[in-house]
Amino acid sequence: METKALLLIDVDGPLNPYMALSRRRSPQGYRRHRMRPTGWETGQALPVLLNAEHGDELLALTDRYELVWATTWKNEANEWIGPHLGLPPLPFVDWPVVGGSTGEGTLWKTRHVVAYAAGRPFAWIDDEIRERDREWVAVHHPGRALLRQIDPLVGLERHDFDALARWAAEN
């Protein structure tokens, strides 16, 4: 049986277009939620924009992908994000350290994403991916990889889901 590719999903940016929070109205299809994940227990609740249709779009990809949270929300994405999208509990990348400098010009997540993939093909959606991350992955990951940068002002769009489906079909 062929192993599915991983779809590594960041929350803030792709699913929660946090840059749009400064606007008076939420983007079309998004609903504002108030959340209190770990570290946000006092003061105003964290505003998070989510589009419930994204859950169906992600689930439609599960014939080719294994969905995995690749977010600083870690396992709390299963409590705070997944239920609003209709997603079942998903595995998650358990970052040993959050943030920091790599000294290589890559996002701090990049080497951990490659380690988590352990040679499996993967697609990764994140708002902080840059060309240097793509270059690093091409050198350090033996399998196929798609690194898709998502605009944190608009979040995931139809063309992103189409690109993920196309890439998986090429596998």
DSSP string, 78-107: HHHTHHHHTPPP--B---SS-S---SSSS-
Q: Does residue 24 lie in a domain region?
A: no
Task: Compute φ and ψ for 136, nearest 5 degrees.
Answer: -65, -45
Domain encompassing residue 146 = 5-15+52-169
Nearest to 90 by CA among 72, 118, 68, 71: 68
Hey, what are 75's tokens?
């396992």
- 36-87 confidence digits (pLDDT tens): 888 777 778 888 999 999 999 999 999 999 999 999 999 999 999 999 999 9
- Taking the C-alpha atoms of residue 131 and residue 15, their distance in angstroms, rounded to an integer, is 21
| In-domain check, residue 151 | yes
CATH of the domain at 149: 3.40.50
| Token couple for 150 | 């998502």
SS3 of residue 18 by DSSP? helix
In a domain, 44, yes or no: no
Strands 65-69, 46-50: pairing kind: unpaired
Answer yes or no: is 135 within a domain: yes
In a domain, 37, yes or no: no
Mean pLDDT, residues 82-97: 95
How many domains are there within the chain?
Answer: 1
Average pLDDT of the residues in 100-115: 86
**Is residue 137 a part of any domain in this protein?**
yes
